[in-house]
Chains A and B, each alone.
Chain A
Amino acid sequence: MASTDHHDDHHGISHVASIKVLIGTGGTLLVLTLVTVLATKIDFGANINLGIAMAIAVLKASLVILFFMHLKYDKIFHTVVFMSAILAASLFVGFTLMDTGQYQHTNIWNPENPPAAPVGPRPTSG
C-alpha cells in the first residue's frame, strides 16, 4: 500500500480509484441505508414515503455507478450503453402504467353472489 494513497489519475490501463473515494462512497451508502430505514418509520403519507425511499435508492444507485463502477472516469460510450438500458426499462414501466385506468375491476364470478347488473342506458337494437 506504500505510496498509493492519492492515485486518482489514470494508471496504465484504467483509472484507479483513490481509497478516499472508495471509503467515502461505501460510508455514504451505509448511512443512506440507515436513513431510508428510519424514514419509513415516519408517516408522511404513503406516496411521499415511497417517493423518499425511491429518491434515496436512486441516489445510492448513482453513487455505486459513478464511483464503485468508475463510470465517472470511464468512457462516455459506457454511460450511453447503460443509460439506454435504464431508458428502455423506464419505457417498459411507463407504457405498462399508461393504460392501467382502462381496465375495469375484475369480478370473480360467484354463483351465490352474482355481480349487480350494469347501470346505464339500455343498448339500442340494431
Chain B
Amino acid sequence: MTEQPHEPHGEGEGHGHAHDAHGGHDEHGHHPRFIQHHYDDAQHQFDSGKLGIWLFLAQEVLFFSALFVAYILYRYHHPEIYSYAHKYLDVKYGAINTAVLIFSSLTAAWAVRAAQLNQKKLLILCIAATIACAMGFLGIKYIEYSHKYHEQILFGRYFDPCVSSGGVPMLTKSNECHGHKSTVQWKDGKALAGCYQDIDQDLQKQDVQADCKVEEVRLEHGRPARVAAGATHDCAKSGGTVIAKGDGGTYTFTGACDEIMVIGSRNTLQLDTAKKVAVKGADNTVRANAVDAFAGDNSTRRAIAKGISGPQPTLAGVTDSDVDENKEVVREASRTPIAERCPEHALGHGGGHEAGGKHPCWRVGFQPAVCARKANKDQYGIIVEYGDHKERGHDVRIDATCKPTPKAPEPADVFAEPTGQTKLGQKAVTPYHQLTTHEEHELEAAGPPPEHTNMFFTIYFAMTGLHGIHVLFGIFVFVWLLVRAIKGHFRPDYFGPIDFAALYWHIVDLIWIFLFPLLYLIH
C-alpha cells in the first residue's frame, strides 16, 4: 500500500474533509483519523474488519439454520399443515418485501462503491435509500402482523383463527372476532355453552339442512332494577336481578324470574318461578310455584306450590352478597332474530365472503378444536356474520336453538318444499360428484385447520420475527453510517464500516430470499 505511517492515536483533525466534495478517487490524502493504533495501516485495519464480519456472517448462517431445521423437520412430518396454513399468508406482501429487500441490497452495494470512489453525495443517497427500504419492509411486515393479530392467526395456543385459510368465518374460543360472533362460550379450556350436536352439516352439499332459530341478544350492564310495591312485575319482559325494597309491601311477579332480592320487613311476595330468592329482614312471606335457591333468615315464611301447603324449600342463611343492591348485573336489552341463512361455501365460487349474501346472516361452524372436544361427537356452533368489520364484545350474545335433523331422512325429503330457512335445493340431489384437485384444495381451505396448525405459525413468527429484528438492527447501523457519511468520515482508504454493514445487510436479504418461497410459496 501507498499509505504513509499514521499518527498513533487517530487524533488527526478534520481538515482533510474539505477534499471530499471533489470526488477525486486517486487522491490519497491520507487521513489516519479512524485508523486504530494497533493496525499497521488502513489496509491492515480493513482486512481484519472484513475477516471479522465474515466470521459473524458464518455465525448468522448457523444461527438461522436452527430455525430452518425446525421448519424442514416439521414440514417433512406434516405437509398438510403447510399446504393449509400458507394460504393465510398473502403472496403479494411477501413478493413486495422481497423486491424491496433486493433493491435495498443494490443500494447498499452501491453505497460501498460510492464510498470507495469518494462520491459523498451518492454515498449519502445510497445509505438513505437503504434505510427507507428497510423501513418500508418493516412497514409491510407491520401490516401483515397486525392483520394476523386481529384474525388471531398467532403462534402456539394463541392460534385461534377467526377465518379459515380460505376466508370462511370460523368458531373461536375467544369469540371476539371482527365482523362475526358465535354462540360458543369458552372458559378454561372448555366450551361451556353454544355447541350443538346432530346438526346436519355437509360441506359437499349446498344449502345444508340445519334448522336453527338464531337470535342476537344485546346485553346491558347495570345495577339491579327496583320494583314498586303493589305493582305487578313481568319477568318475561325484563329478566335479570330485581330488588323489592321497603316494609309491608306486596309484590307480584309473573313469568320465570331470575333473581329477586327482598330488603325490608313484613313484605309479601307472590311469584311463579325464580332461580333465586334472597330475603333480608324479618317476617317476610314468599309464595311461589318453584324456587331453585332460597336465602333468608328463620323468620321468613315461604310456601311453594300455590298456597301455604307443600314442602318448604331449604333456607340458606342470607349473606350481604345475596342482597347487594349495587351488584353488577347483566340484563337483556333486546333480542333480534337473525332469519337469513348465509350462503354456504359453494365450490368454485370462492369463500364465504362472496357478494350477494345479506347481512347479518348465520351459518353453521364446525371446528373440532373449539366445539367437538370428544372423539366421535360432531359438535357445531352457530356463527352470525355481519357485513361490517366491527368487534362485538361482551355486550352481544348469540342464542340459537337447533332442531336435530332426522337420522335417516326419507328419499322423498330431498325433493321437499323449501321451508323458510332451509332450502333443500337441486345440488343436494347429486351431492357427491368427483372433485377436481383445485376444488379439493378450495374445499380444504374453506374448512377448519388441521390439528397443530399453530406450529406453522410458531415457526413463521420465529423466523420472520428474528429476521425482522435483524432488519431493525440494520436500520440502526445504517442511520449511524448516514450520520458519519454526512460528517464526511468515509474516504477511499476508510470505508470499512460501510462495507461491513452492507455485507450484513446482504445476509439479511439472503435469508429472506429463502424465507419467501418457504413460507409464502408452498404449493
Q: Which residues of A contact B (CB under 8 A)?
A: 1-2, 4, 7, 11-14, 16-17, 19, 22-23, 25-26, 29-30, 33, 36-37, 40, 43, 46, 49-50, 53-54, 56-57, 60-61, 64-65, 67-69, 74-75, 77-78, 81-82, 84-86, 88-89, 92-93, 96-97, 100, 103, 110, 112-113
Contacts and interface: CB of A to CB of B under 8 A. Distances in A.
B91 A37 contact: yes
B105 A11 contact: no
Nearest to A95: B69
Contact of B46 (A13, A67, A85): A13
Nearest to B96: A33
B76 A100 contact: yes
Interface of A is mostly: helix
Contacts of A40: 91, 517, 521, 523
B58 A84 contact: yes
A33 B99 contact: yes
Interface residues of B, number: 65
Given A14-B46, A22-B113, 4 more contacts: A74-B50, A89-B61, A93-B68, A93-B72
B342 interface: no
A113 B375 contact: yes
A80 to B, nearest CB: 9
A75 B57 CA distance: 15
A89 to B, nearest CB: 4
Given A12-B493, A13-B46, A81-B58, A65 B376 contact: no
A19 to B, nearest CB: 8
Interface stretch (B178-186, B307-315, B506-514): B506-514
B95 interface: yes
B338 interface: no
Nearest to A56: B517
Contacts of B521: 36-37, 40, 53
Contacts of A43: 437, 523
Contacts of B122: 1
Contacts of B50: 14, 74-75, 78
Contact of B513 (A26, A60, A78, A84): A60
B503 interface: yes
